[in-house]
A and B are shown apart, each in its own frame.
Chain A
């Protein structure tokens, strides 16, 4: 356990010392860009104080993720970056008001990998995550929008399983991210943005968050399969986000079906491109 904690702190630090050098093997990058459509359910009592009003609708998500093995701990550490943008349009049950929402998320994760079986890898680690967003109610006057800003640390885990069905290769991935500590922005109940931003009463609007006032989980379930010369990634992303801060209850729930393309490539940037020029047939260099 102690080693595990040290590992998390180590990888979230700003200095990442290089350990063993494996010059002969290039560490490729696995990059997937997937687009999804799904159902959204939003609730924010800053926008409807005193009423437990849930807005339902649909949204669009674009997600780019990159994974790469690092030269750390004998190549057992991988880094994952996820950049996601999603927008949604929702309405109240009576369809008399709309909530429009938009979120930008960035996640930087480091995982230690355990090769349980030749076909199965379990990756565990931690991630730092930031989110900026808003929910905008088209009918409200002085409380028209609820701004979202979160920075948090997450427990992060993946299982990657490769198998074949009649010689057809498939790779299934399940991943979850659960924030356990962070800070977020929240006005006080019935505190106007005029009071916060025009008059500068910013007391108590940045709050520490953990499981006592926030629970969120992201579930990724994807399958990669080859189609002609492409690798297709299809899957599901369920994102559940609940907060209860400054007497404002909020939830953002989405269930999206995702589809996109994956590519595996070796990145030659800067001097590495020059150094390896003899191994490449570059159209540019």
Chain B
């Protein structure tokens, strides 16, 4: 009996030895630098569009890498290397810091004041699914502020919001300072503003390691919602801090005849980001799948509004939002023309 058990356990041990794989712990600065450069080289999607010479970047940063770098110095160096891509969707993520490139809005006027927005909302505004909403201008204009496409909004939320605005002449959707989130919410909201399915753009993905190895552009459509819809005039308010899913929302809404975009150019961010990681466990995020507009053009650097309007210092001193006021005037003017 004992001999039999010894044989059995010996066999099990041999099987285990044969099947175990050692986790590779590769944490030298050089190895992590090489890994990051290669992952981006093989998977990033905007090298040619942005005219980034990634081999030149390698030469410049490789000289600065040595095994004497501590983790903070290495992180700063690798973060700077990623910033060469000028991409808000590209980050290095460690347990002590997240590298980022935010110049797409930091270098531009804010064109948004949260305090002034609150004055317009008043005290009795409603909140549904991350959307803050109220009526302006003697209840003629519906106003909704959506600060993040990560705030879940459901169809029932949208039903209630649009029903609340049923007697309004026009609708303002303010997405200034909206840094993005889920494309599903972008589609869900946009689906309330059209009667027929439309082509809104294209999506691609990388198919190989080459900088131009992409799949054929695959058409992206927007289908109308079967629920309560809004086909009266709409104004979307934008600034440079509208990014990613917010940029996607503007791209779709701009195609609709009753929609006018007012404010500043959006920040862009049309590359669908993927995550990976380095041997030392730091996370990476980078744009990997270009989302093209209906003319198969990139909107990575933003979408221009139909009407450029900037907030003036004079209006701000009076707690007035120049862009909201322009939107109200536009909606009233358009509703009177009909």
Contacts and interface: CB of A to CB of B under 8 A. Distances in A.
Interface string B209-246: 00000010010110000000000000000000000000
B203 A137 contact: no
A223 B8 contact: yes
Interface stretch (A64-72, A90-98, A116-124, A274-282): A90-98
A3 interface: no
Nearest to A137: B275
Interface of A: 39, 41, 47-54, 56, 92-97, 137, 139-143, 165-166, 168, 170, 172, 188-192, 194-195, 198-199, 201, 219, 221, 223, 234-236, 238, 240, 247, 253, 255, 257
B277 A53 contact: yes
B272 A50 contact: no
A93 B23 CA distance: 6
A160 to B, nearest CB: 15
A219 B16 CA distance: 11
Contact of B19 (A52, A92, A165, A240): A240
A93 B25 contact: yes
B276 interface: yes
B208 interface: yes
Given A189-B205, A192-B272, A139 B19 contact: no
A223 B11 CA distance: 12
Given A141-B285, A142-B275, A189-B207, 8 more contacts: A54-B21, A96-B283, A97-B281, A137-B275, A191-B205, A221-B8, A240-B19, A247-B207
28 contacts: A47-B275, A49-B39, A50-B43, A51-B277, A93-B23, A96-B94, A139-B277, A139-B283, A140-B275, A142-B274, A165-B1, A166-B1, A190-B205, A191-B215, A192-B203, A192-B205, A192-B274, A195-B218, A198-B183, A219-B15, A221-B12, A223-B8, A236-B12, A238-B19, A240-B19, A247-B207, A253-B19, A255-B15
Nearest to B282: A96
A96 B281 contact: yes
Contacts of B35: 50-51
Given A50-B42, A194-B183, A143 B21 contact: no
A192 B289 contact: yes
Contacts, number: 142
Given A192-B205, A195-B203, A236 B15 contact: yes
Contact of B39 (A51, A139, A142, A257): A51
Interface in B230-287: 272-283, 285
B219 to A, nearest CB: 8
B288 interface: yes
A51 B95 CA distance: 19
A9 to B, nearest CB: 33
A221 B7 CA distance: 12
When A and B form their complex, which 10 residue pairs have the shortest distance between CB atoms, in order from nearest? A94-B281, A96-B281, A50-B39, A140-B275, A93-B23, A191-B205, A190-B206, A201-B218, A190-B288, A165-B1
B285 A51 contact: no
A165 B4 contact: yes
B265 to A, nearest CB: 25
| Chief secondary structure at chain B's binding surface | mixed
Contacts of A188: 205, 207, 215
Nearest to B203: A195
A141 B205 contact: no
A56 B23 contact: yes
B281 A51 contact: no
A219 B12 CA distance: 11
A217 to B, nearest CB: 10
Contacts of A139: 93, 275, 277, 283
A198 B191 CA distance: 14
B184 interface: yes
A198 B207 CA distance: 20
A231 B221 CA distance: 61
Contacts of B281: 92-97
Contacts of B25: 93-94
A141 B273 contact: yes
B79 to A, nearest CB: 16
Contacts of B93: 139
B275 A143 contact: yes
Nearest to B272: A192
A170 B39 contact: no
Contacts of A93: 23-25, 279, 281
B220 A199 contact: yes
A79 to B, nearest CB: 27
B38 interface: yes
A190 B43 CA distance: 8
Given A93-B24, A195-B218, A51 B278 contact: yes
Given A39-B20, A189-B206, A165 B272 contact: no
Contacts of B42: 49-50
A170 B23 CA distance: 38
B125 to A, nearest CB: 31
Contacts of B20: 39, 41, 255
B321 interface: no
Contacts of A240: 19
B64 to A, nearest CB: 22
B187 interface: yes
A105 to B, nearest CB: 18
B27 interface: yes
Contacts of B203: 192, 194-195, 199, 201
Contacts of B282: 96
Contacts of A223: 4, 8
